[in-house]
Amino acid sequence: MMADRVARKSFFTRKFVLECISQMIFPYPFYNTLMFMPQLASSKVDYVPYFLSDFIIIFMFVRLIAVMRHWERYHAYTDLYAKKICRHYGVWSGRMFTFKCEINHENDTRAICFLFLFSVALLSFILRVLELPFEQSAGGNNSNLKDYGSAIWLTVITMTTVGYGDIYPQTVGGQVVGILIALWGAFVISLLIMVTASVFDFDAKEQRAVLYIKQSRSAAISIQHALQFFVQKKHFYVGKLSEDGDFDKKSTFLKMVKQL
């Protein structure tokens, strides 16, 4: 009776099917079709040959969605207990919620540095895959992107919006990836700037220490000014006393000085 009242979910859900399809994306042996893509007018090559496996290798990174799902599943803020609390407050505990928790409540420096390095490695690899056939077709006359290090250099320079122009993509696919690198880099670099700025923020103990130091310095300056005022006033009344012998009987301040 209890089992009949429990809502049964289908085993073949949409997420399950998408993950199965993503795991089946890989270069199949003996199935490598040769494709020719037209190039821009500025390049010296009219067509660049690509194998079908080149594009399949790029699409293989869709498997990272499964890695992200496992990371989300075992994260402290998105486990079963955390999902129950989020449902109670009407919050969707998805990937964006997990990322926000990493940035705001965990080690934000670790998360953003990992995101930056992972983005550079992934985008550089994709850029290298798309530019390698052009390098081979040009017969070694082209000086751009001869190795993976050059692709990393171009990716970092593009993400930081510097753009020296010494290395640049010359294929249509490489230029499309360059646009994506520039757009994604604006987001990642803004996060790095935010983390760098947060390094100079005070924590609770430092704020209390700075507040106590400022209050102590203010009290010391107030005492110093009070003593200076007292000394100047004393000199003023002493001068008045030298001019008027009965001035001490008229002044309350001089009576207090004599008592000191």
Q: Are 98 and 67 in contact (CB under 8 A)?
A: no
Q: Are 128 and 149 in contact (CB under 8 A)?
A: no
Contact (CB, 8 A) for 60 and 25? yes
The first and second tokens of residue 199, run together, are: 């390094």
* Within a domain: 191: yes
Q: What is the reported pLDDT for 123?
A: 92
Whether residue 92 lies inside any domain: the answer is no
- The pLDDT tens digits of the residues spanning 120-139 come to 999 999 998 888 888 777 66
Q: Residue 3 pLDDT more than 60?
A: no
Same domain, yes or no: 111 and 240: no
**Residue closest to 135 by CA, chosen among 169, 165, 158:** 169
Residue 230 lies in a domain: yes
Residues 193 and 216 in one domain: no
Position 2 scores a pLDDT of 43
pLDDT of residue 227: 83
The domain boundary residue, chosen from 155, 176, 199: 199
Q: In this structure, are 189 and 130 located in the same domain?
A: yes
Which phi-psi region, left, alpha or beta, contains residue 48 (left: φ > 0; alpha: ψ -120 to 50)?
beta
- What tokens does 132 get? 């390698």
Structural contact between residues 127 and 181, judged by C-beta atoms closer than 8 angstroms: yes
Instruction: Render pLDDT for 163-208 as a digit per residue (tens, 0 to 9).
Output: 787 888 888 888 899 999 999 999 888 888 877 777 777 777 877 8
Domain extent at residue 213: 205-259
217 in any annotated domain: yes
- pLDDT tens, position by position, 208-237: 887 878 777 777 788 888 888 878 877 777
Q: Are 50 and 147 within one domain? A: yes
In this structure, is residue 3 part of a structural domain? no
Of 163, 181, 175, the closest CA to residue 124 belongs to: 181
DSSP 8: P
Kindly state the DSSP code that residue 10 receives in the 8-state scheme.
Answer: -
pLDDT at 6: 42
Write down which residue in 199, 220, 249 finishes a domain: 199
Task: Tell me the mean pLDDT in the region 31-49.
Answer: 76
Name the DSSP class of 244. Answer: -
51/69 Cα distance (integer angstroms): 31
Does 252 lie in the same domain as 172? Answer: no
Report the pLDDT value the prediction gives residue 259, as an integer from 0 to 100.
62
In a shared domain, residues 187 and 213: no
- 25 and 116 assigned to the same domain: yes
* pLDDT score recorded for residue 160: 87
Instruction: Give mean pLDDT, residues 10-16.
Output: 71
177 and 210 share a domain? Answer: no
Domain count, the chain: 2
What is the model's pLDDT at position 1? Answer: 41
Shared domain for 52 and 173, answered yes or no, is yes
From CA 154, how far away is CA 175, in angstroms rounded?
A: 12
Mean pLDDT over residues 1-16, rounded?
58
Higher pLDDT, residue 238 or 255:
238
